[in-house]
Homo-oligomer: A and B are copies of this chain.
Amino acid sequence: MSTTARREREIQELRSKIITQSWKIITEDGWQALSIRKIADAIEYSAPVIYKHFESKEAIIEYFSKEGFNILSHEMSLIPSDKIDSSERLRDIAYTYWRFASTYVQHYRIMFGLGIPPCEAINSSEEMQRTSNYMYSAIEQVLADSANETADKYLKLKTFWSTLHGFIAIALLSDDNIPSAPTATLIDAVEGFIFTLKNNK
């Protein structure tokens, strides 16, 4: 019977309609703004039908998370694994990762649960500024002591902060808590940062 085949096709079509319309909402207003009723509106069906295709709203989000990782791993698979030297390859992977994040921003946000800026103006709040200043002046001092005049202090601050944040954010992704003593990996990264701060011009 071809009716069942057609039915199957219709189901798949509706499913992909859910996906495309969900994505439209996400790109327009961010993944936090995605709602079952908005999707229902866009696909011109009532809300409960969505549950025939996805177990929950989170499952839809998860779909895009997996899609993101698929795209990312695919992009990495395109990097030639032979001919060029191994360091060059690792570099390529790093920049592929960055390029992916900059191209598929919404995917990246979903993949790592990053919200739209938390409290909008927090970035420039006095409270944060003070923290920032401590880091800045410490970096300034190291540069002064090693007679490094050319380095961009503000960029170094950003590097320092980004590095620290990266370790913590990744650690918090899988665990609720993180060890109170800095991990060996963090120490390594910090020492590396200080080293280049002192020796790089």
| Residue ranges of A at the interface with B (Cβ–Cβ < 8 Å) | 58, 61-62, 65-66, 69-70, 72-73, 76-77, 79, 85-87, 89-91, 93-95, 97-99, 101-103, 105, 108-119, 122-123, 125, 127-128, 130-131, 133-135, 138-139, 141-142, 144-145, 152, 155-156, 158-174, 176-180, 182, 184-186, 188-190, 192-198, 200
Q: For A125, give the chain B residue with the smallest CB separation.
A: B66
Say yes or no: A73 contacts B166, CB within 8 Å: no
With a cutoff of 8 Å between Cβ atoms, the chain B residues found around residue A91 in the complex are 190, 194
A72, A156, A164: most-surrounded residue (chain B CB, <10 A)? A164
Across the interface, A73 reaches (CB within 8 A) one of B127, B172, B192, namely: B127
Cα separation A5 to B196 with both chains bound (whole Å): 58
Say yes or no: A98 contacts B163, CB within 8 Å: no
Say yes or no: A178 contacts B102, CB within 8 Å: yes
Cα separation A144 to B86 with both chains bound (whole Å): 9
With a cutoff of 8 Å between Cβ atoms, the chain B residues found around residue A118 in the complex are 61, 65, 110-113, 173
Cα separation A179 to B189 with both chains bound (whole Å): 24
With a cutoff of 8 Å between Cβ atoms, the chain B residues found around residue A161 in the complex are 166, 170
> Assuming the A-B contacts A73-B127, A102-B180, A135-B93, are A117 and B173 also in contact, with contact meaning beta carbons closer than 8 angstroms in the complex?
yes
Across the interface, A162 reaches (CB within 8 A) one of B69, B170, B176, namely: B170
Shortest distance in angstroms between A110's beta carbon and chain B's nearest beta carbon? Answer: 7
Say yes or no: B69 contacts A127, CB within 8 Å: yes
Shortest distance in angstroms between A78's beta carbon and chain B's nearest beta carbon? Answer: 10
Across the interface, A176 reaches (CB within 8 A) one of B105, B159, B165, namely: B105
> Assuming the A-B contacts A72-B131, A168-B101, are A123 and B173 also in contact, with contact meaning beta carbons closer than 8 angstroms in the complex?
yes
